[in-house]
Amino acid sequence: MSSVIEQTSEIYGIANWGADYFGVNRKGNLIVYSPENENLTADVKEIIDDLRKRGIGTPVLLRFPQLLFGQIRKLQTAFRKSIKEFEYDGGHLCVFPMKVNQNRAVIEEYLKEGSRYNFGLEAGSKAELYAALAMDQAKDSLLVLNGFKDRDFVRLAFAGAGAGKNVVIVIEKMSELEHTLNLVQEVTAENPEASLPTLGVRVKLYSKGSGKWEKSGGEAAKFGLTTTEILDVIGRLQDAGRIELLRLLHFHIGSQLTDIKRIKNAMKEAARTYAKIRQMGVPIEYLDVGGGMAVDYDGSRTSFESSANYNAREFANDVIYVIKTVCEDENVPHPTIIQESGRYLSAYHAILVTNIQDEIETVVEDRTPMKMQKDDPQVVRELYDLRETINGKNYREYYHDALEHREELFTMFDLGLISLEDKGKGEVLFWDVCEKADQYAQQKKYVSEEFDDLRRLMCAKYLANFSVFRSVPDNWALEQLFPIVPIHKLNKKPTEFATLCDITCDSDGIVDKFVDLHDVKPVLELQKLSPDEPYYLAIMLVGAYQEVMGNNHNLFGAPHEAHIHIGEDGYIIKKVINGETLADVLETVRFDANQLHDQFRRQVMKRIKEGEISTKAGNSLIEFYENQAESYTYLSPNGTP
Ligand SMILES: *Cc1c(COP(=O)(O)O)cnc(C)c1O
């Protein structure tokens, strides 16, 4: 017999998707393990209680930089071991693609750990490059620039080289090469010894990835140069006498690559391209294999969209082995491998904790035992009979009958034949029959699809204090799954099935697909809500893409944020950053709080002048309004001030 805690951990799949970072302690609370020492843990419920005392309510984003370090080391170790095992001559370096999470804390923490292995950065826009230029990077790390570039962008790259960084401009368009060659001339005319950026080319591969981002690869991809264009770049550089600048060959076939076979095919094609270019006498030394290492969000280890059928070590083995084999076949040196994995490194480190605010009633429940009256309409009596006589043998038939009677009930109401009270009574009875039918159906070995649908209909709808659009936009836009788990009460068996509704006024703001080992769950097992006790859930693995892709829909702003260190004495809250206020989010849509205050005040003053309200009442209205500008955009949990 396994303990309740083991059973609940299994329900939520913590061991499947948790990558050994998460668990449950004896109190039944969710904990985060320090990757360096599994004896050190942080109790997430304690953190939330502590933050509450400091006036930081939910929703709150918790960052655990140590998990970012853990992922960096996992990736670095995997490649180090593969390089050793296959006697590969080249090295392995990472550049963190800033678009995955540009948050300053994330970039700084990444560089702190990554610099030990000469890991650098990748920037895809002028703004990202601008920030990257000011960061301290390890001397031998790279700063790789992808994306479309204008002259200013290229100029900034030269500024970076001037400041001592190893900048690589990856050519996506011929015009970028022209800007670069012009600037090379300009800079070297002034100082022939000036440090220059080096160049890369992004190749369009025939190979495609798998999963949601399949379109990033293949012939029709947005990025990458065709074979002819690459030959043009080489020719142009040779003519300019600058072929020595071309050092890197890049490709990226998409994010969340779920299938290792596709990755291997792309590696083969890219390695062959590298070899052929190398044989032309071009001194390429880096083969940049892009990002795309997938995170196993549902823990199923499959090629399903939210999963991956490989781990870091298999990925590293395949990359190293394929590239080595092709290089030996073609008799060219082994390149140093550059990896641009972002999702894999940063997904785990952040979790969003929020409270369940309430339950949304959709199923009418029978609160007072219902008695039949003589003058009840026939349809209500029949529903009553069904409720009284439904059993394990007839439940399917009776459920179908109930559906029919409900139709009849609505039709009769529309025709004015029954009263509102009769309709209400009939609805309650209908749901009673459904509930009983659901209970009988779930006892059977095989639950037919119609009863699965019924379960979805019957399930509770919990109102969660967050915005899907702000905090898990990929769940809305791409149906990407994120594990969701209560942070406490995990020592009690969940009794309810629920879906989650967020607090936006948008019917898309729901979560009704949950991770499962074999399938996707339509409902999540949760505890029954109790009115005088908060219930907190954590949305896990939200450290990649979600923060910056999240939007202000309904003007819900960035949530509070806390940075947590896991140490000898449990957790240390290193830093708290307040979430956006009403004034902050209104500013993003060009409202100015002061101006709003003036306008509101003017309306109230008019009412005072007209004698509609007293001066005292008016002033307190104004004061209240102005104070709200600094309040949080989310709901205050019920029962808290
Ligand atoms: C987005 C992107 C990445 C990061 O991909 P992940 O799936 O997060 O690893 C890497 N390289 C390029 C060129 C990208 O556009």
Nearest to 41 by CA among 26, 55, 54: 26
- By most ligand atoms within 8 Å of CB, the mutation choice from 71, 340, 546 for ligand 1 is 340
CA of 97 to the centre of ligand 1 (A): 6
Question: What burial letters (b/e) apply to 170-179, b meaning 16+ CB within 10 Å?
Answer: bbbeeebbeb
Please confirm whether the linkage preceding 559 is cis (ω < 30° from 0): no
Position in ligand 1 atom list of the atom nearest CA 341: 9
> Tokens for 35?
């990757």
Across 611-618, average pLDDT:
97
Position in ligand 1 atom list of the atom nearest CA 254: 7
Cβ(290) – ligand 1 distance below 6 Å: yes
Question: What burial letters (b/e) apply to 237-258, b meaning 16+ CB within 10 Å?
Answer: beeeebbebbbbbbbbbbbbbb
The CA distance from 239 to 73, in Å, is 43
CATH of domain 378-456: 1.20.58.930
Closest residue CA from atom 5 of ligand 1: 291
Q: For the whole model, what pTM was predicted?
A: 0.94
Instruction: Assess whether pLDDT exceeds 80 at residue 474.
Output: yes
pLDDT band at 629; cut points 50, 70, 90: very high
CA of 283 to the centre of ligand 1 (A): 25
CA of 326 to the centre of ligand 1 (A): 24
Contact 557, 579 (CB under 8 A): yes
Cβ(342) – ligand 1 distance below 6 Å: yes
CA of 277 to the centre of ligand 1 (A): 24
Position in ligand 1 atom list of the atom nearest CA 544: 8
- By most ligand atoms within 8 Å of CB, the mutation choice from 75, 255, 343 for ligand 1 is 255
Contacts of residue 364, defined as CB under 8 A and 6 or more positions apart, other chains included, come to: 424, 427, 428, 431
In the chain, where are the structural domains located?
Answer: 1-62+351-362+462-562, 66-350, 378-456, 586-630
The CA distance from 624 to 362, in Å, is 35
H helices within 312-448, ranges in order? 312-330, 343-346, 378-389, 395-414, 420-443
Q: What is the mean pLDDT of the chain?
A: 94
Instruction: Supply angle C-alpha 418, 424, 429, rounded to 5.
Output: 110
Cβ(97) – ligand 1 distance below 6 Å: yes
Dump pLDDT digits (tens) for 412-431.
Answer: 999 999 999 999 999 999 99
Query: Do the domains 378-456 and 1-62+351-362+462-562 match in fold?
Result: no
Residue 25 has a CB neighbour count (10 Å cut-off) of 16
pLDDT band at 366; cut points 50, 70, 90: low
Position in ligand 1 atom list of the atom nearest CA 343: 8
Burial level of 152, CB count in 10 A (0-12/13-18/19+)? Answer: exposed
pLDDT, residue 382, reads 95
Q: How far is CA 462 from CA 362, 365, 510, in A?
A: 11, 16, 10
Cβ(291) – ligand 1 distance below 6 Å: yes
CA of 135 to the centre of ligand 1 (A): 20
Architecture of domain 66-350: Alpha-Beta Barrel (3.20)
Element containing residue 133 per DSSP (H, E): helix 126-133
Torsion angles phi and psi, residue 324, rounded to 5: -60, -45
Element containing residue 111 per DSSP (H, E): helix 104-114
The CA distance from 316 to 583, in Å, is 48
Cβ(147) – ligand 1 distance below 6 Å: no
Q: Kindly report each contact of residues 14-20 with a partner whose C-beta sits within 8 Å and lies 24 or more positions away, as own/partner.
A: 14/483, 14/485, 15/299, 16/296, 16/298, 16/299, 16/300, 16/515, 16/517, 17/296, 17/297, 17/298, 17/299, 17/483, 17/515, 17/540, 17/541, 18/299, 18/483, 18/540, 19/296, 19/348
Candidates 2.40.37.10, 3.90.1150.10, 3.30.565.10, 2.40.30.10; CATH matching 1-62+351-362+462-562:
2.40.37.10
Dump pLDDT digits (tens) for 176-185.
Answer: 999 999 999 9
pLDDT, residue 216, reads 76
Dump pLDDT digits (tens) for 25-38.
Answer: 999 999 999 999 99
Dump pLDDT digits (tens) for 395-414.
Answer: 999 999 999 999 999 999 99
- By most ligand atoms within 8 Å of CB, the mutation choice from 68, 93, 96, 100 for ligand 1 is 100
Cβ(202) – ligand 1 distance below 6 Å: no
Residue type, 635: L
Position in ligand 1 atom list of the atom nearest CA 257: 7
Closest residue CA from atom 3 of ligand 1: 291
Cβ(293) – ligand 1 distance below 6 Å: yes
